[in-house]
Chain A
Amino acid sequence: MPRIVITGLGLVIANGIGVKNAWDALMNGKDGTAELKSFDTSQYKVHRACEVKDFKLDTVFKNETTANTIHKYTYTAAKEALKDSGLSDITGYDRERFGIAVGTLAGELPPFEYLLRKAPEDKANGFDMGVALTYPPSSITTLLSEDFGFEGPNMISLNACSSGNHAIAWAFDLLYEGKVDVMLVGGGELIPQTEFTHFHNLKALAPEKCQPFDKNRKGLVIGEGAGIMVMETLDFASKRNANIYAELKGYGMSCDGHHMTAPHPEGAGAIKAMSNALSAAKITYEDVDYINAHGTGTPLNDIMETLAIKSVFKERAKEIPVSSIKSMIGHTMGAASAIESVVSCLAIKNGAIPPTIHYETPDPECDLDYVPNEGREINVNYVLNNSFAFGGNNVTNIFSRL
């Protein structure tokens, strides 16, 4: 049976650019939340977000429209991950066995928002969408394929907030079936005003900060960034003596089939995704050392996720540390689960887990160990990483020490 391993990581998130900076920031509980700058929020009740700061691209876009694409983040994270894995140059390899899968919720939107803000009348009159670099969404992976010379399967996963984990699951299957040797996978997102408005008007946005599992949590903080990993078969990695962070043991999917925006109240879908992931990984609830939570900081999600964890982990639920990095980098939507997958691999490699910050008041309904405010050094052999999306679209994956 082929084993699938992670050999390179790349991160661009609100509290740090590059894996090293980002990991230090996460372990130190650095909050990436600040005043939202990329568009005017004066008409909204919420003005804060987790935007990527001080970002410099080492390649130049021709115009301002194309500079507004998520390509700048996915490209940067992908480049870091490939360099990390020793695959910056793939000359001599069979390029048709190198594939790409990236998840996004609405990564293609910001350039159009930029154009329409300048000339709203163009919407009705017709405008040249071709000037936007990331159109249609699949252009995001097309660009990466062209940048890095990958010629294998290529797709964008459009699955809202579980997009990244869907892309990783899809890549896992391709590697497992022996169809490819290497997959560049992950997720990327910018903050579209469209999604900001959507969450704002659903009253899902917290005014100041994201406080997952806290009694006074007021919602999510929207975020942006990218998380990319290099996945390959253990055989392929061993042959080229690659550095290995972790093994992806398996994934579990489910769908609530319940509501367009609200999660199932008892977490039926979440329970199923976690249980399916445990069986796919051929481990039990007794083996997991750390849960990287979906933990959005919305009242409904955090109760639902807590209930689901208790149902799956039974008597162990309260002893397993559960943390949400969304408290520091916001909800990066389509990129979130990919970024969290990168962080899961780092937890295994570094023997440490990041905290849930802004944790102030315990909630009787959320009574697990949420790693409040301080990161911890612990030995991590198995991590379970949850992602739950609108539409009840759930994917959980499990990473382990090799």
Chain B
Amino acid sequence: MNKRAVVTGIGVVSPLGIGHQDFWKNLVSGNSGIAPMECLDLSKYECKNGAEVKGLNPEEFLGRKGLRYLNKGTKFLGSSVKMALDDANLEIDEELSNQTGILIGSSLGNFSQTTDYFHDIVRENPSELSPMQSYDVALNSSINYASVVFKIKNFARTISSGFTSSTDAIGNALKLIQNGKADVIIAGGVEQISLDLYMIFYMRKMLAGANGTGSEISMPFDKRRNGFIMSEGSYVFVMEDYDHALSRGARIYGEVSGYGSIFAGNRSSDIGKRVEKALNAMKKCTNDAGISPDDIDLINANGNSGKLSDLIEAKAIKELFGEESENVPVHTVKSALGESYGASGAMQTASALLSINDGLIPPTINYEENDPECNLNIVGERLEKEVNTVLINSFDLSGNNSCLIVKKHE
């Protein structure tokens, strides 16, 4: 019999607030974290909106020592890990440190600071640059930092699989706990907005408001949707072996019970195939959780306002649920938070766990005009409803389709 993985702590650094309490309060109130971006000079470009993290004081969580050497993403991750551990009321002592791992998904990590460093290499005499300039520039250095600061000694692993990175990290953590490889895993995702990242989406005309369409709004599944909004943040969970959590009397937010991942080759223009692969990923995930689609009472959708990706997801959901797809509620937090790429799956997981705990479904804001091709039961207004089992969809632009099942623990 496999062990079970429950979540006992949530740490959030998000455009809707620092800490899961503010994040949730703003999310269920229908507030938006999207505004013109301040961290980048976008005067030359037409797409200016983004969902930036504001008001984080990393000193509060990490102390002052060494802070000046840390990059944005490392501060995000370190702060959210501290919050999650405090929330779980977990002290990592010598004994527990050997049973605790960290498993984080990030599509790019500190990539932007890495190219900044290279920029210095090109312009200056590289052999004279201080080693401290490259202290925090590896793509996984934020995870290394967290393992050192929080004395995590079982393992440290960083997964990069594009937009599904943190979904895959949480799925991998589930398996490692099920197989008894660790009692506690700090799992989640981190991502930061940078000009490097902006440019790739901008050049590919994937951002909302590209192509001269004007409105820079995240409108998932809405007929007017015209691309996604970039987002940043860090969302981490204390995932724990159920018996371990019980024995220390921990509060339990919910259980992560299933994971499935399929590669689709999304660069292909074969939409039918992409729908099939998204559907198969959902099926793989429900099978892994040992449930049927009928057991799902909420879908936390990938829906990021992308013209084609939302359509593909809607078609796949309809195929999975058949006629029932008119009833099962679907919402997406990306209407308020944007697309946080490698951190998105973890962002969605935070919302799913809080929905289960509070019996509340946050609204998909900006949802006004029904798209007959995406005809789902979209939750447009905040909804009070008991939630037991949530399907989380996480689809990458270039191929990975990964899903999670998060449910109320029994």
Whether A and B are associated in the same complex: the answer reads yes
Residues of A within 8 A of B (CB): 43-45, 96, 99-100, 105-106, 108-109, 112-113, 116-117, 120, 123-124, 126-130, 135-139, 141-142, 145-146, 150-160, 166, 170, 173, 177, 192-194, 197-198, 200-202, 253-261, 269, 272, 390-393, 395
The answer to whether B372 has its CB under 8 Å from any CB of chain A is no
Of B25-33, B161-169, B362-370, the one with at least 4 CB within 8 A of chain A: B161-169
- Cβ contact within 8 Å between B147 and A392: yes
Cβ A153 vs Cβ B158 within 8 A: no
Q: For B144, give the chain A residue with the smallest CB separation.
A: A391
CB–CB B139/A260 < 8 A = no
A372 shortest CB reach to chain B, Å: 32
Can you name 29 A-B pairs with beta carbons within 8 Å?
Answer: A43-B127, A44-B126, A105-B139, A120-B122, A123-B116, A126-B45, A130-B204, A138-B162, A146-B399, A152-B262, A153-B263, A155-B160, A156-B159, A156-B160, A158-B160, A159-B156, A170-B157, A194-B121, A198-B131, A200-B127, A253-B154, A253-B155, A253-B181, A255-B152, A256-B148, A256-B153, A257-B153, A260-B141, A260-B145
Q: How does the 8 Å CB contact mask read for B106-147 relative to A, with 1 for contact and 0 for none?
A: 111101001111110111011101110011111111011101
A192 to B118, CA, bound (A): 9
Binary A-proximity of B199-221 (CB < 8 A = 1, otherwise 0): 11011100000000000000000
Complexed CA–CA distance, A245 and B121 (Å): 44
Complex Cα spacing A126 to B123, Å: 17
Give which listed residue, B44, B127, B153, B267, contacts A254 with CB less than 8 A.
B153
Report whether A138 and B160 are in contact in the complex, using a CB–CB cutoff of 8 Å. Answer: yes
| A391, B141: Cα distance in complex, Å | 8
- In angstroms, Cα B92 to Cα A255, docked, is 14
Docked Cα-Cα span, A45 to B127, in Å, equals 8
Beyond A158-B109, A159-B156, is A106–B114 a contact (Cβ under 8 Å)?
yes
Report the separation of the CA atoms of residues A112 and B199 in the bound assembly, to the nearest whole angstrom. 13
For the complex, what is the distance from the CA of A124 to the CA of B361, rounded to whole Å?
41
Residues in B with CB closer than 8 Å to A137 are: 107-108, 139, 160
Given known contacts A197-B129, A255-B156, A116 and B122 CB-to-CB distance under 8 angstroms = yes
A233 to B: closest C-beta gap in Å? 16
For B116, B122, B157, B261, the residue with the greatest tally of chain A CB atoms inside 10 Å of its CB is B157
A117–B139 touching, CB < 8 Å: no
Q: How far is A135 from B114 in the complex, measured between Cα atoms in Å? A: 14
Residues 152 to 198 of chain B near chain A (Cβ within 8 Å)? 152-162, 165, 168, 172, 175-176, 179, 181, 195-198
Instruction: Please state if B400 and A113 are interface contacts (CB–CB under 8 Å).
Output: no
Whether A173 contacts B118 by the Cβ 8 Å rule is no
Q: Which of B107, B118, B144 contacts A390 (CB 8 A)?
A: B144
**B400 with A154: CB separation less than 8 A:** yes
Q: How far is the CB of A103 from chain B (nearest CB, A)?
A: 10
Contacts of B102 in A (CB 8 A): 255
Closest 8 CB pairs of A and B: A391-B144, A253-B155, A138-B162, A129-B200, A156-B160, A255-B156, A155-B161, A158-B158
Interface residues of B (CB under 8 A from A): 44-45, 97-98, 101-102, 106-109, 111, 114-119, 121-123, 125-127, 129-131, 134-141, 143-145, 147-148, 150-162, 165, 168, 172, 175-176, 179, 181, 195-200, 202-204, 261-265, 267, 277, 280, 284, 396, 398-400
Q: Which of A123, A155, A256 has the most CB of B within 10 A?
A: A155
State whether B161 touches A156 (Cβ < 8 A).
yes
- Chain B residues with Cβ below 8 Å from A202 are 131
A129 and B203 contacting across the interface, CB-CB below 8 Å: yes
Main DSSP-derived SS at the A contact region: mixed
Docked-complex contact B140 and A159, CB < 8 angstroms = yes
Q: A116-B115, A128-B199, A170-B172 are in contact. Are A151 and B123 (CB under 8 A)?
A: no
A197: which B residues are within 8 A, CB to CB?
117, 121, 126-127, 129, 134
Complex contacts, B130 vs chain A, CB 8 Å:
201
CB closest chain-B residue, reference A202: B131
Q: Considering the chains assembled together, what is the distance between the CA atoms of A4 and B131 in angstroms? A: 42
For B168, what are the chain A residues with a Cβ–Cβ distance below 8 Å? 153, 155
Nearest-Cβ distance from residue A264 to partner chain B, whole angstroms: 10
Q: Is the CB of B147 within 8 A of A255?
A: yes
Question: How far, in whole Å, are A116 and B199 apart by their CA atoms in the complex?
Answer: 14
Taking a contact as CB atoms closer than 8 A, the residue among A109, A142, A166, A173 that contacts B398 in the complex is: A142
Point out the residues of chain B lying under 8 angstroms from A158, CB to CB. 106, 109, 139-140, 158-160
Q: Which residues of A contact B153 (CB under 8 A)?
A: 254-257, 269, 272
A150 contacts across to B, CB distance below 8 A: 263
- Given known pairs A137-B160, A142-B399, A154-B161, the reply for A129 and B114 (CB within 8 Å) is no
Are B121 and A193 closer than 8 Å at their CB atoms?
Answer: yes
Known: A159-B140, A160-B140. A391 touches B147 (CB 8 A): yes
Q: Chain B: which residue is nearest A125 at the CB level?
A: B44
Contact of B119 among A120, A142, A146, A152 (CB under 8 A): A120
* Cβ–Cβ contact A116 & B127, under 8 A: no
Residues of B contacting A44 in the complex (Cβ-Cβ under 8 angstroms): 126-127
Q: CB-nearest residue of chain A relative to B108?
A: A136
Q: Does the CB pair A258–B118 fall under 8 Å?
A: no
| Residue from the list A129, A157, A194, A391 in contact with B196, Cβ < 8 A | A129
B154 touches A390 (CB 8 A): no
**Which residue of B106, B145, B153 has the most chain A CB atoms within 10 A of its CB atom?**
B153
Residues of B within 8 Å of A155, CB to CB, are: 159-161, 168, 400
B114, B116, B277, B396 — most chain A CB neighbours (10 Å): B114
- CA–CA, A204 and B70, complex, Å: 22
| Complex Cα–Cα for A254 and B157 (A) | 10
Which residues of A sit under 8 angstroms from B154, Cβ to Cβ?
253-255
Question: Which residues of chain B are near A257, meaning CB under 8 Å?
Answer: 97, 147-148, 150-153
Report how far A99 CA is from B123 CA in the complex, Å: 42
**Min CB gap B228→A, angstroms:** 16
Q: Once the chains bind, are B199 and A127 in contact (CB under 8 Å)?
A: yes
List chain B residues, Cβ under 8 A from A156: 159-161
Task: Known A96-B280, A257-B151; judge A194-B265 contact (CB<8 A).
Answer: no
The reply to whether B198 and A391 contact each other, CB–CB distance below 8 Å, is no
In the complex with contacts A112-B118, A120-B123, A393-B144, A136-B261 CB distance below 8 A: no
